[in-house]
Amino acid sequence: MKLLTPSAQRAAASDAAIASLPGFANHEPRAHEFAVLDPSTEQRIATLPSYSTEYAVEQVAIADEAGRAWAATTPRHRSDVLHDVYAHLIANRGRLAYVISREMGKTLAEAEGEVQYASDYVRWYADELLRPAGGYRENPAGGSTILTKRAPVGLALLIAPWNFPMAMITRKIAPALAAGCGSIIKPAGLTPLTTLLVVELMAEAGIPRELMRVVTTTASGAFSEAVLGDPRVRKISFTGSTEVGSTLMELAAKNIVKSSMELGGNAPVLVFDDADLERAVEGVFLAKMRNGGQSCVAANRIFVQDGIADAFVEAFSEKMANVRLGAAIAEGADLGPVIDGRAVTRLTSLVENAVDLGAELRAGGSAPEVPGYFFEATVLDRVPAEAEIASTEIFGPVAAISRFSTQAEALELANATPFGLSGYVFTENLDRALNVADQLETGLVGVNNGVPSNVAAPFGGMKQSGLGREGSHEGLEEYQEIRFYNIARRDTV
Ligand code: SIN
């Protein structure tokens, strides 16, 4: 298989963007340092400090003090600065996209899309913070009036994943800043460069550096224990696996820290006979292949009704077989590498196991023998229920399709998982769309829509997929406490 490779000029441009980042070094990692690799080449692109827990706790003191001063600024001031941040991020779209592509492996076109998506959170909260929620109530028994208001929750710990290195940071930091909170930010060890660049650009646009303290470290467990053990930290927002989320919730419980957890998914997709075939193929392709399938909301178990199944599988497989694999910054690449070698090994084993148990391989299926962590866009049809891929989060460009005959059967299959982040339904029948969406046990549902995420929507899961919501006004509330004043009244004459 021929892989698309980038021009030398393009590679040099991204190298320059990376070399200017704070903390960057260009040598093999020494003690208390770690390397960041380019998944398209397996080459080191940066060496960064792995900070100690003492350093992390020093940052808590700095960000806590800065957060108190920030909370005292006017909403108009915070809104204006966040609007300036939005404009500055967009003005640096090319640089940000390069860095995202180089360290995470998504194509430049997708990375540019992520820059817009990520920046939109900043713009959304710049506007949203001007409309603080509050209320007025009467004591039913008379004699007092109750006012409710929102106050900043205090210092927030933000722990981000590697799959959307910019959007998952701005989706946390924008509402934190809007609410009036300082933050300690821990980027993923695999993709810290984007966070460093985002925070640098935010500081250039006017956010005080003391408010956003980034701690790069490979000692994640010790870091979380030290920071969550500090009573000045009042909030944690984490995106990552359910397993790590559960450990963080235990740590957060000690000081009763308000927690938002965006955890694992296992999204069911239901394609009914009455779906529009073209729309369904396009929608499922997006739901599967956005970010190379490396998303918590990615289509994971694709259930197709018997009457449309052959036509769907044919058209979908053809589309997947035409996906051009290449280095993330290569001209014309549709799909870059997956994040690391472990992901390649896991995907290979999931595909082999499914085929051994009777699944039909309709496209792709293997990892090309070239440098870089590549895996072909793959389609498996008639995946048996006992195959490992039928119950695990795939997190890669492999589509696992099985078939169903009735709506009731489809819903039973879809909900037979401890996870409940996203679900998808494809049908042209409005009644069916709403009935099925109502019965899916997921926090969000894409109806004839392969990309339901939106800044104006409250992203988050049910069951073991998490707690709390990100985006929309609900995402701002995650960084606020509700308070009330009960004002006694007596009659006057
Ligand atoms: C995620 O994969 O965690 C986020 C995806 C999204 O925002 O759509």
Tell me which residue of 117, 47, 448 sits closest to 270, measured CA to CA: 448
Residues 229-256: tens digit of each pLDDT: 999 999 999 999 999 999 999 999 999 9
Mean pLDDT score of the chain, rounded to an integer? 96
pLDDT tens readout for residues 140-166: 999 999 999 999 999 999 999 999 999
Burial of 33 (0-12, 13-18, 19+ CB in 10 A): middle
Label residue 1 by pLDDT band (50, 70, 90): low
pLDDT score recorded for residue 22: 87
* CATH C-level class of 268-455: alpha beta
Q: From 393, 459, 465, give the residue whose CB has the most ligand 1 atoms within 8 Å, as the site to mutate.
A: 459
Least reliable range by pLDDT among 7-11, 255-259, 311-315, 384-388: 7-11
pLDDT for 62:
98
Strand, coil or helix: what is 424?
strand
pTM of the model: 0.96
pLDDT of residue 132: 87
Distance CA 226, CA 394 (A): 32
The three-state secondary structure class of 177 is: helix
Q: Which residues have C-beta within 8 Å of that of residue 428, sequence separation ≥ 6?
A: 274, 275, 276, 448
pLDDT in tens, 189-216: 999 999 999 999 999 999 999 999 999 9
Any atom of ligand 1 within 6 Å of the Cβ of 163: yes
Rounded CA separation 268/271 (Å): 10
* Confidence at residue 13, expressed as pLDDT on a 0 to 100 scale: 67
Cβ–ligand 1 contact at 295 (below 6 Å): yes
117 CA: nearest ligand 1 atom: 7
Whether 100 lines ligand 1, by a CB cut-off of 6 Å, is: no
Share of the chain above pLDDT 70, in %: 98
Contact (CB, 8 A) for 398 and 375: yes
Residue 437 has a pLDDT of 98
Pocket test for ligand 1, best of 115, 158, 170, 453 (most atoms within 8 A of CB): 453
The model's pLDDT over 373-390, given as tens digits with 9 standing for 90+, comes to 999 999 999 999 999 999
At residue 5, the pLDDT reads 78
| Position in ligand 1 atom list of the atom nearest CA 459 | 7
The ranges assigned to domains in the chain are 8-263+466-481, 268-455
> Does residue 291 have its Cβ closer than 6 Å to ligand 1?
no
At the fourth CATH level, the homologous superfamily of domain 8-263+466-481 is: Aldehyde Dehydrogenase; Chain A, domain 1 (3.40.605.10)
Dist. CA 349–CA 165, nearest whole Å:
27
Catalytic amino acids?
262, 296
- Grade residue 17 by pLDDT with cuts at 50, 70 and 90: confident
Tell me the mean pLDDT in the region 15-25. 87
pLDDT in tens, 390-449: 999 999 999 999 999 999 999 999 999 999 999 999 999 999 999 999 999 999 999 999
pLDDT at position 3, please? 77
pLDDT mean over 52-76: 98
Half-sphere exposure of 39 (CA within 13 A, CB side): 28
Q: In the structure, what pLDDT confidence band is assigned to residue 16 with cuts at 50, 70 and 90? A: confident
294 lines ligand 1 (CB under 6 A): no
